[in-house]
Amino acid sequence: MIPQAFDYYAPTSVADALRLLRQHGDDAKLLAGGHSLLPIMKLRLSTPQCLIDLGRISELRFIGEADDGCLAIGAMSTYHDIKNSALVQERVPALAEAAGEVGDVQVQNKGTIGGSLAHADPAGDFPALALALNFELVTATARSGRTIAIDRFFRDLLTTALRPNEILTEVHIPALPAGTGVAYQKLPNKASHYAVVGVAAAITVGDDGVCTDARVGVTGAGATAVRARNTERILKGKHIDAAVIRRAAKRAGANVEDFNDDLHASAEYREHLTTVFAARAIEDALSRAG
């Protein structure tokens, strides 16, 4: 468990980090917590020549409200920060709760929201929540930066829309309309506590009890986290009762291309779990929407 030798940089500003990134190009990896990267480096499955540690860039670690009313979270905010943020607890309690269920205390203390999203582990918890909460991802490059909609972010296994010269700097979570409930439910892998399958749901219900909006994110099931669009369609415009939930949950796996099949769960079981946890997340979200 000794990684190959590498150079280590700990810039204190995004500008410095970008400069280092441009300088080292493909030889460099960004370190944003390290709970995913360092283990694979220790196994020598990843052998970057240089690590640029974003951990000392204080401008990347904040939780606040953006001008447009979005909840803004700096990419280097830890799960611990998110779990304990009064603002997050007030605005999106499900996100604070989920942060408290990631890995263990050590992971929560070091792991970051930006690291989790940029790494795009197929079994990560936050990708499902990011999809359900319609995260906007703000990035920086040496020239400027951009905002990437979460729906266009996860591309493939451990692959995102981020370019090699780009740093994810913050996450914007649009304000939730009144009557919205959010929930995340998962079956934890008993060894790693990653999600075998996890489903996040954000459900908005109008005064008349009709679902006006629904976003459902599924993680753990396939190569990337995906939105369960069929499920959302079934929910929208309906009075959500048990029968609707059942029907909607049944379609939660429809957008998963290939179910993962590994030591921890067969594809068949994962498909089943997707339905089970979709139903649980929807029910839970609905109960919070009132």
Partner 1 sequence: MIAGQVSKLIGSRVKRKEDPRLITGEGKYTDDVILPGMAYMAVLRSPYAHARINGIDTAQAAALPDVLGVMTGAEVNERCSEPFPLFAILEGMQYPERWPMAATKANYVGEPVAAVVASSRAAARDALDLIEVDYEPLPVVVDMETAADPDTPVIFEEMGSNLCYEASDQAGDPDRAFAEADGVVEARMEQPRLIPNPMEPRATVADYERSSGNATLWVTTQNPHIERMVVAQMLGMPENKLRVVAIDVGGGFGCKINTYSESLIAIILAQEFGRPVKWAEDRTEHFVSTSHGRGQAQYVQAAYKKDGTLLGMKLKIYADLGAYAQVISHVIPTLTPSLAPGVYACRDIGWTTVGVFTNKIPYDAYRGAGRPEAAYIIERVMDLIADATGKDPVAVRRKNFIPKDAFPYETPTGMIYDSADYDAALDKALAIADYDKLRADQKAQRKDGRIVGVGVTVTTEVCGFGPAAAMGGLGGFESATVRVDPMGKVTVLTGASPHGQGEETSFAQIVADDLGVPFDDVEVIHGDTSIVARGVGTFGSRTLVVGGTAIVKANEQIKEKAKLIATALLENKIEDTLDPQLVTLEDGLFSVQDMPDQYVTWAEVGAEAYDGQLLPEDLDPGLEAVSFWEPPGLTFPFSAHIATVEIDPDTGEVSLTRYVSVDDCGTVINPTLVEGQIHGGLAQGIGQALLEQAVWDDEGQLVSGSLMDYAMPFAQEFPMFELDRTVTPSPVNPLGAKGIGEMATISATPTVANAVVDALSPLGVTHVDIPMTAERIWRVLQTHRRGRRGGRS
* Among residues 2, 45, 86, 242, the one that binds partner 1 under rule CB under 8 A: 2
Strands (E), the chain: 7-9, 28-31, 50-53, 63-65, 71-74, 136-140, 145-149, 154-156, 159-160, 167-173, 180-188, 195-205, 211-219, 226-227
* Least distance to partner 1, CB of residue 189, Å: 8
Distances (CA, A) of 54 to 12, 25, 46, 150, 221: 8, 16, 18, 22, 30
HSE at residue 257, side-chain half, CA atoms within 13 A, is 7
Contact present, 232 and 215 (Cβ < 8 Å): yes
263 binds partner 1 (CB under 8 A): yes
CB nearer partner 1, residue 2 or residue 86 = 2
24 binds partner 1 (CB under 8 A): no
* Least distance to partner 1, CB of residue 8, Å: 14
CB nearer partner 1, residue 86 or residue 263 = 263
* Among residues 13, 106, 192, 287, the one that binds partner 1 under rule CB under 8 A: 192
- The 34-63 contact track toward partner 1, x by CB under 8 A, reads -----x--xxx-------------------
246 binds partner 1 (CB under 8 A): no
Q: Is the dihedral of CA 111, 124, 157, 140 positive or negative?
A: negative
**Phi, psi torsion values for 207, nearest 5 degrees:** -60, -30
* Least distance to partner 1, CB of residue 39, Å: 8
Q: Where on the chain is the footprint of partner 1 (CB under 8 A)?
A: 1-2, 4-5, 39, 42-44, 187, 189-192, 263-266, 269, 272-273, 276
